[in-house]
Structures are given as structure tokens and as C-alpha cells.
Amino acid sequence: MTTADPGANAEPPLPSDLQAWLDAQERQVLMRALRLTGFNRTAAAARLGLNLRQMRYRIARLGIAIPTAGAPDDDGAAD
């Protein structure tokens, strides 16, 4: 009879603050989509199955900074 390594199948600990953990996960996904699209919010939203309004809301809620070069928004409107 062999004993299994107790750490081999250990699950990660539960987060103490679920909302903060979920926000961090969402931030990572949004940042990845934004980087993959050159920070084009419209294209990133489409890749994630969101509309631009939902994407803007999530970016604002999570405090994600979008690099700007003084050009119009990716959705064609100037700020």
C-alpha cells in the first residue's frame, strides 16, 4: 500500500473575499483581450461576446487604464 502525496491533489484555498477575487479574474481576462486587440475596446468586446457599452462599464468599474495617444476612440467618437 502506497501513500499519496497529500499536496499532489490539493485544491487551491477558497478566497476570503469572493468579489475581489472575481474582479481580479475579470480584470485579467479584459486586459488580455485588450492587449490582443491593441486596446481596441470594440474588438475586445466582440471577442468576449460583449457589446461596447458593457465593455466600457466593466473597464470603468475595474479601474482599467486604457493607453491613449490623443487619437479618437476606437469606436470613432472623440472623447
CATH node for 18-62: 1.10.10
pLDDT band at 1 (very low <50, low <70, confident <90, very high): low
Map out the domains of the chain as residue ranges: 18-62
Q: What percent of the chain has a predicted confidence (pLDDT) above 90?
A: 70
pLDDT at 6 over 90: no
Write out pLDDT tens, residues 15-39.
999 999 999 999 999 999 999 999 9
Q: What is the DSSP string of 16-27?
A: SSHHHHHHHHHH
The reported pLDDT for the residue numbered 19 is 97
**pTM for this entry:** 0.72
